[in-house]
Amino acid sequence: MDDFWSDAERHLVRYSGAGRFVPEIIERAEGSFVFTADGRRLLDFTSGQMSAILGHSHPAVVATVQRSAATLDHLFSGMLSRPVVDLARRLADSLPEPLTKVLLLTTGAEANEAAIRMAKLVTGGHEVISFARSWHGMTQAAAGATYSSGRKGYGPAAPGNFAIPTPNTYRPDFTTADGALDWRRQLAYAFEMFDAQSVGALAAVIVEPILSSGGVLDLPPGYLAALRDACHERGGLLILDEAQTGLCRTGDWYAFERDGVAPDILTLSKTLGAGLPLAAVVTSAEIEQTAHDRGFLFFTTHVSDPLVAAVGNTVLDVLRDEELDKRAADLGAYLSRGLRDLSERHQVIGDVRGRGLLVGLELVRDRATRQPANELGTAVTQRCLELGLHMNVVQMPAMGGVFRIAPALTSSHAELDLGLQILDQALTDVSAA
């Protein structure tokens, strides 16, 4: 045990801003739980990295990996296999027209990189708009469109990146007469500022339908359509990053379905591989044709890899056969009710928000002033871990009091009850201390 942590400290590059790892050695994972080297069982309320929507080591996924690793694992990137074409067709079938063309990659950052690269080539523009609390990845273009963290110390970002205000109904900046968020006025202001700085070369607007790292902030109904219209008026393409919201987590197959706003380009990642490295870019035949005619290049080592594509097909099978969109809606409503019940007993709970099984819980020092409680969030996270629950507090500056709760879609009501009980106890213990 001592060698493990000393070896980790000596040899591992620390890759989060805080530089801290969860102080447990994880030996295995199954379903909604991970198991530590000292025999503890931890309820995983984050689905790994918000990815393992079928739980850990789902039998169907395990069988697919074993079969595929033994028969067809990796190919030259210019070769095609049946799992790749099947997954592309099935993704297209699950989406509205005209989203019919699919590029299979590995990570969310890579998918967003490809989407932005495609948008720039197709439009001839180079300007990219995203939210001031955005997180789209750590590669160049994706990081350039990320504002919630990680911008300092790396030199200048690519020219043409613009941040616009994030619509936050709990902490509104533009308000109506009754104090609610006036998102229409906020959005008009955002594009007024953009227009003043733009050189008339908008390539894309890239946003999440629900900002996750930004604090689990759901876009108000109507916002996405207005954003799309503002983007199109300026010649740009709308890219929706559904890394965490896609494939049933919100109660719909895709989060954009609530608003009836299909993007020009859709990116998928975390949930598509259910924990394995698989991502997708989906767009229209028209956009793909223009990109191809202009020499679109995104030739990577693991583009169209057959093994993870086979896993993606299995994920779609399970989501469809077990109707996990409906299950996520049911479990999400159950979880949110439970959290609101907790808020009646714990005055530090300021807000419960989200959709389906992507739920945000914000802690505050005072409900009237809504003063953030970052230190409290850290303490509650630690106490939850001691009691057997892994919770994920948003790691971004000034957002340490916001929990991202994203259990597996295969969770049971009993497992959600267990998580609520542990959270209740942790809040009680920390408040008393």
* Catalytic (active-site) positions: 135, 208, 241, 244, 270, 404
**For 423, phi and psi rounded to 5 degrees?**
-65, -40
Contacts of 320 by beta carbon, 8 Å cutoff, 6+ apart: none
Q: Three-state DSSP class for 297?
A: coil
Other CB atoms closer than 10 Å to residue 78's CB: what's the count?
Answer: 8
Distance CA 302, CA 277 (A): 10
**Residue 105 bridge partners (DSSP):** 279
- 190 Rama class: left (phi>0) / alpha (psi -120 to 50) / beta: alpha
SS3 123: helix
Calpha distance 78→87 (Å, rounded): 17
User: Is 242 exposed, middle or buried (CB count within 10 Å of its CB: 0-12, 13-18, 19+)?
Assistant: buried
Question: Is residue 108 a contact partner of residue 116, using CB atoms and an 8 Å limit?
Answer: no
Residue type present at position 401: G
First and final CA of the chain: distance in angstroms? 30
3-state helix, strand, coil in the chain (%, to 5): 40, 20, 40
- Rounded (5°) CA angle 127-219-262: 65
The single-letter code of the amino acid at 247 is: L
Instruction: Sheet containing 26-30: give its strands across.
Output: 26-30, 33-36, 41-44, 389-390
- The token duo for 48 is 């790994």
CA–CA gap between residue 67 and residue 231 (Å, rounded): 45
